[in-house]
Structure 1
């Protein structure tokens, strides 16, 4: 009987592995996961730096609008495409020691990990070195308190602050009158009796503003928007 010869390359391939070895599959999955995590961190960092940032409210100075432990979202887009307006709630870097001596940053691995996650936006910024207040006066405005009715006034117009002032608080217990320099902001906390603000420290440069708060996102039962309201709508531009 004559045996047929098998052309080169047509040998039986049944003995070759049909599937990727387990180790190879594991490395591929690990590689894909690392790429996804890296891209997610890059996107989160870009969002934090250029678009939005979460901040943790550490004090009672903005009650009842914002409470201790609230997580607020701050928009940085609005600073690039619009001006700051009276009534806006803004986060800004500490101008000249408004916060007083601050505790040193946490050392060790735990502190480094926390700082990393805050930087990329996974954790809310704990607000160290930053403050959050309501804008009362813009550059050129005259801010005074208080008139015969006990109200704060801007450019001679009394302001009804019932929509944001802490219940039971007066607009201010100490009288003041200040013309805000151009390019600066005059800010007050909504909890006037428990806020160190421009009444004591004066105005500060707009360049220190990080962004405008627009929503409380945590805890769930505190979900709400943060707005300027309409208390300042009728204030005229400074002469």
Structure 2
């Protein structure tokens, strides 16, 4: 018996298949392109997530968008005006237009700061005037004299940590004259209004 190892004959059936150098290069190029596409997709996703996070943080800590609802701030602001406000480093001051998160069913609540903690506010409905610490305010920004009464009794002292807010349209405004809102906690202020961005014909700083 012949125990010698038989060598398979050469030919298409006997030879082990080996890829050509060109095929290997093509496969490497295909894999490289697929890896590049994956990197590109993840790059786009990461940029989108970064932008979304940045917008969210800016909206929370730097600039917020608010929309005026109703006529309570006429003539300064009109219904539908779109505003930019910011709470970054903000401390309430007299005359500031602010947005508060207090909800009285009007959406974004935009009012003007009239008095701060420790101040005494008095409203004389006979003369339609407002006084702070005994001094009558000069208010060129209001639509008309303050004649609409609320259920708050005057004079009243503003508690610590709160502000007294009024709308510029004194006879069509839910504000600190009414207990439904009262004197607003400073912590609820979303920021001071700095700019009107819409409508375009009234765009500008406030």
TM range (shorter): 0.7 to 0.9
Number of residue equivalences: 180
Matched, 1:139 2:114: no
Q: CA RMSD in A?
A: 2.7
1:1-239 map, 5 Å: 16-17=25-26, 25-79=36-90, 83-94=91-102, 98-99=104-105, 128=107, 130-146=108-124, 150-162=128-140, 164-166=141-143, 169-174=144-149, 176-201=154-179, 202-226=182-206
TM-score by length of 1: 0.66
Residue 147 of structure 1: CA displacement? 8.0
Structure 1 CA distance for aligned equivalents of residues 130 and 60 of structure 2:
36
Residue 52 of structure 1: CA displacement? 1.3
Structure 2 CA distance for aligned equivalents of residues 207 and 32 of structure 1:
39
Residue 35 of structure 1: CA displacement? 1.2
1 or 2 for the larger relative contact order (CA 8 Å, sep ≥6)? 1
Retained in 2: the 8 A contact 1:78–1:211? no
Residue 77 of structure 1: CA displacement? 0.5
Structure 2 CA distance for aligned equivalents of residues 14 and 98 of structure 1:
72
Show CA shifts across 1:130-159 (max 9, x none).
411101011111111228854321111111
Residue 19 of structure 1: CA displacement? 5.5
Retained in 2: the 8 A contact 1:91–1:213? yes
Unpaired segments ≥5 residues, structure 2: 1-19
Retained in 2: the 8 A contact 1:78–1:212? no
Query: Larger Cα Rg: Structure 1 or Structure 2?
Result: 2
Counterpart secondary structure, 2:89? helix
TM-score by length of 2: 0.75
Unpaired segments ≥5 residues, structure 1: 1-10, 100-126, 227-239
Residue 45 of structure 1: CA displacement? 1.2
Show CA shifts across 1:79-99 (max 9, x none).
3xxx211111111122xx633
Name the residue aligned to 2:9. none
Show CA shifts across 1:11-60 (max 9, x none).
97797248667655544432221111001011111111211111122222
